[in-house]
Amino acid sequence: MSGLLGAAEIREIAERIGVKPTKKLGQNFVVDANTCRRIVKAAEVNSSDVALEIGPGLGSLTLAMLEVASHVVAVEIDERLAIELPITAQRHGFSSEKLTVVTKDAMDVSELAIAPTVLVANLPYNVSVPVLLRFLEKFPTLRAGVVMVQSEVADRLVAKPNSKTYGSPSVKATWWADMSSAGTVGRSIFWPVPNVDSSLVRFVRHAPAGDEELRKKTFQIIDAAFAQRRKMMRGALSDLFGGSGAASEVIASAGIDPTIRGEALELGDFIKIATTLNK
Ligand code: SAM
């Protein structure tokens, strides 16, 4: 059998292997082949890529990636789905040598046997941000990718300072990559139909702004700034720096107004504060 998965086959596989999609694992499967091809195209996957998929589910996107990538690595937490995936791929004419399935919680994956170059995933909604940030951190070979997430999360990932949706994920993601919107996806292409809207976010990795020590310090400051986003920076960082006076001093010597709120600062400003603190 060639071609991608269709709605009928997806339901048939799920029924046969006894999978009833659960909310807990964010199991909303894409049942539209055109959407899968569109996502893979947006990620610019090419024949030299090792594509990484987190949460392949029944394989809709996986097959679309197998059509173009040199290899696909798929990380799936649900053992029943992980076992069935190579069988589905083979039935659709793809060599088993092109696919590696890792049966694991993505949040526990720190290394992979083959270095991935591009990430394409319809991410499980409850862990989408931590999973994305984790893979950007742990796999520097990932040069780019497209992830499908809840629209509200997509807005946060691409938000700029001074907007309502700007927060810790927006700033942290830009440490690793340039983030941009890659469009929306209708609810009807999923089974079961979710009660939230979904969007695509594209990322392209850039050179890191500093070493791991600076990143960790910067992320600590970002977390403190957004834990109390209505507070001025000197107040938000007072616990971290041993009082608001000390915090004011560090922030001011980084050339930033200590009365500003974190939501007005961009990554470069947080890095300046972290650098000043390290001196
Ligand atoms: N990629 C498939 C598609 O587009 O049809 C399925 C996407 S579905 C939104 C999310 C998938 O992630 C499910 O297959 C679910 O079992 C899996 N999943 C959920 N939590 C996970 C985790 N922590 N690590 C790895 N996979 C996970």
The minimum-distance atom of ligand 1 relative to the CA of 105 is 24
The minimum-distance atom of ligand 1 relative to the CA of 60 is 5
- CB under 6 Å to ligand 1: residues? 25-30, 54-57, 60-61, 75-78, 81, 105-107, 122, 124, 127
- Which one of 78, 83, 84, 151 would you pick to mutate in the ligand 1 pocket, going by the greatest count of ligand atoms within 8 A of its CB? 78
pLDDT at 2: 67
Query: Mean pLDDT of all residues in the chain?
Result: 96
pTM (2 d.p.): 0.96
Domains of the chain: 7-205 (3.40.50.150), 212-278 (1.10.8.100)
Q: Residues with Cβ < 8 Å from 51, sequence gap 6 or more?
A: 43, 45, 65, 69, 71, 72, 73, 116, 117, 118, 119, 120
The residue type at 29: F
Burial of 279: CB neighbours in 10 Å, binned 0-12, 13-18, 19+? exposed
Distance 275 CA to ligand 1 centre (A): 38
Q: For 96-128, write each residue's pLDDT tens digit.
A: 999 999 999 999 999 999 999 999 999 999 999
